[in-house]
């Protein structure tokens, strides 16, 4: 492989080291950050994510509570739990793992979370703040990606940045963070015409599509930084991203692997937001 490997585990470990020291300092002031994680139903991928979030808390000395609710939980029951957590003094951050079962209204749940405890930065008021450039809570995955880009030493300013995918969790906030650092940002999606022509312009290419091997070598400019946000299973059930890693690795200047790229960073930024929330309480 020609491209430099962007090691999300290593970047994440060095950030967590610094955050651990920060948690120790807070402990001296009698403050322990607390995170509540709510999981509804038994989606296996969500169970893995939630487990990793708990482990991350443990590692840093953050207090955590896990609420595992049955798939048949009603909207009212979930809203009541969020309301209880909003008022709970030892909880600084609330995360409701998405996706929720179909009968539940995710938007209503997200809007019920106190914006001061919204460590995912999904609440409309936090989304609005991000748009205005006020980053009290960083959107976890995009913020983790910015850390990975910084780790390569590349400056975003003036670069062609192309994002494939326009979700509220990744694509849209990613565009804001890149814009904030003076990148020239293009957001592509399923209706984009001549996609390869657009992606080939990218100095920084972020793939958040949800389809294995969607980004091929022909779609990537020589030397580009390629960030793979995908978390897919291939035909053999093996975890893989959105990027054809082997082929694109021969063209790109730097590339994130899956697993071990963006994934560990998302949780690290969640922990960072939890510490931020605790400092503000
Ligand atoms: N599901 C997939 N990614 C996320 C995330 O970052 N936060 C939450 N709450 N659910 C998710």
Which structural domain, as residue segments, surrounds residue 238?
140-262
pLDDT value at residue 281? 82
Q: Are 256 and 6 in contact (CB under 8 A)?
A: yes
75 shares a domain with 159? no
Q: What predicted TM-score, i.e. pTM, was given to this entire model?
A: 0.96
171 exposed, middle or buried (CB, 10 Å; 0-12, 13-18, 19+)? buried
169 shares a domain with 247? yes
Sheet with 93-96, side-by-side order of all strands: 63-69, 34-40, 93-96
Cα of 98 vs centre of ligand 1, distance in Å, is: 5
**Is residue 132 situated within a structural domain?**
no
113 shares a domain with 36? yes
Which CATH number fits the domain that encloses residue 83?
3.40.50.10860
Q: Which pLDDT tens digits describe the chain residue by residue (281 residues)?
A: 899 999 999 999 999 999 999 999 999 999 999 999 999 999 998 999 999 999 999 999 999 999 999 999 999 999 999 999 999 999 999 999 999 999 999 999 999 999 999 999 999 999 999 999 998 899 999 999 999 999 999 999 999 999 999 999 999 999 999 999 999 999 999 999 999 999 999 999 999 999 999 999 999 999 999 999 999 998 899 999 999 999 999 999 999 999 999 999 999 999 999 999 999 98
Would the CB of 97 count as within 6 Å of ligand 1? yes
162 shares a domain with 79? no
Helix (H) or strand (E) holding 160: strand 160-164
Would the CB of 126 count as within 6 Å of ligand 1? no
**Is residue 54 situated within a structural domain?**
yes
**Is residue 49 situated within a structural domain?**
yes
**Is residue 274 situated within a structural domain?**
no
240 shares a domain with 151? yes
In this structure, what token pair is assigned to residue 203? 């100095």
45 shares a domain with 159? no
Domain count within the chain: 2
Would the CB of 95 count as within 6 Å of ligand 1? yes
243 shares a domain with 159? yes
Residue 39 to residues 111, 117, 125, 153, 190: CA-CA distances in angstroms?
17, 17, 23, 37, 30
103 shares a domain with 51? yes
**Is residue 131 situated within a structural domain?**
no
């Amino acid at each position: 492989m020609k491209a430099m490997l962007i090691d999300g585990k290593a970047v994440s470990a060095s950030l967590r080291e610094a955050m651990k020291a920060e948690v120790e300092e807070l402990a001296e002031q009698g403050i322990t950050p607390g995170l509540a994680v709510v999981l509804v139903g038994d989606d296996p991928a969500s169970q893995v994510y939630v487990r990793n979030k708990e482990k991350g808390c443990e590692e840093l000395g953050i207090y955590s509570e896990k609420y595992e609710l049955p798939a048949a939980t009603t909207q009212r029951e979930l809203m009541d739990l969020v309301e209880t957590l909003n008022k709970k003094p030892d909880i600084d951050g609330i995360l409701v793992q998405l996706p929720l079962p179909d009968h539940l209204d995710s938007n209503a749940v997200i809007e019920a979370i106190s914006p001061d405890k919204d460590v995912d930065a999904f609440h409309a008021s936090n989304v609005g703040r991000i748009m205005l450039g006020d980053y009290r809570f960083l959107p976890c995955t995009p913020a983790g990606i910015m850390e990975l880009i910084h780790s390569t030493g590349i400056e975003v300013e003036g670069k062609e940045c192309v994002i494939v995918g326009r979700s509220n969790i990744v694509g849209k906030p990613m565009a804001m963070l890149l814009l904030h650092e003076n990148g020239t940002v293009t957001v592509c999606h399923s209706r984009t015409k001549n996609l390869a022509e657009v992606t080939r312009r990218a100095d920084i290419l972020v793939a958040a599509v949800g389809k294995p091997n969607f980004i091929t070598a022909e779609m990537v400019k020589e030397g580009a930084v390629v960030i793979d946000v995908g978390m897919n299973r291939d035909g053999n059930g093996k975890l893989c991203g959105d990027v054809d890693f082997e082929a694109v690795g021969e063209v790109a200047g730097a590339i994130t692997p899956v697993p071990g790229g963006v994934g560990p960073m998302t949780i690290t930024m969640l922990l960072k937001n939890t510490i931020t929330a605790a400092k503000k309480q």
